[in-house]
Amino acid sequence: MGRFCLDEDKATAKIKRLRLLLFDVDGVLTNGELVYGPGNAEYKRFNAQDGLGFVLAQKAGLKTGIITARCSELVERRAKELNLDCCFQGYEKVPAFEKVLAEHGLIDDEVCYMGDDLLDLALMRRAGFSAAPANARPEIVSSAHYVTSTKGGEGAARELIEVVLKARDAWEPLLKIFLSDCKAWI
């Protein structure tokens, strides 16, 4: 597992206030590589374990979403597959964050944001709880409350979600329910 960058009791208190988990895409839900093919073809690799993490978070009553500066049909498709509560693409991140807060009736302290690069810094500093994948830029790591042991696109979102669920004492009950009937969840 990764590491908390603040006292674990303080981190747990922050986590218990969360109602929404927000993620950047490139470098967090993917490995950050931009792969282009012939014509306008674009390719992204998403991690299946991250996907199940989103399902688990939603089953625990948390809202989930994406804020990314780039636009991609692939991100829209992934957001729909995961039944995310919000997906903002092509936005400046701070106005998108404020729109999410307004639409869902939330305050900064009720949001967790995971980012990896300088475009994420403002949201990292505003969110009630912030996280970074292991391969995030140094400025992001120094602003994070939690840094995963896994890299972006390799299960970093799942790791964060598990940390959140465990701190909220939701992991074991969810695991028990999931194992009794996993097909109903997928």
Domain that holds residue 60: 3-185
User: What pLDDT is stored for residue 182 in this prediction?
Assistant: 67
What is the DSSP secondary structure assignment for residue 113, as one 8-state letter? E
Which parts of the chain register pLDDT below 70? 182-186
First to last CA, the chain: 26
User: What pLDDT is stored for residue 185 in this prediction?
Assistant: 63
What interhelical angle do 8-16 and 156-167 show, nearest 10? Answer: 90
Three-class secondary structure of residue 83 per DSSP:
coil
User: What pLDDT is stored for residue 106 in this prediction?
Assistant: 98
Are 89 and 72 within 8 A, CB to CB? yes
User: What pLDDT is stored for residue 59 in this prediction?
Assistant: 94
User: What pLDDT is stored for residue 35 in this prediction?
Assistant: 77
pTM of the model: 0.94
Quick one: tokens of 86?
């919000």
User: What pLDDT is stored for residue 150 in this prediction?
Assistant: 97
User: What pLDDT is stored for residue 178 in this prediction?
Assistant: 82
- How many domains does one find in the chain? 1
User: What pLDDT is stored for residue 135 in this prediction?
Assistant: 96
Question: Looking at residue 157, which CATH number applies to its domain?
Answer: 3.40.50.1000
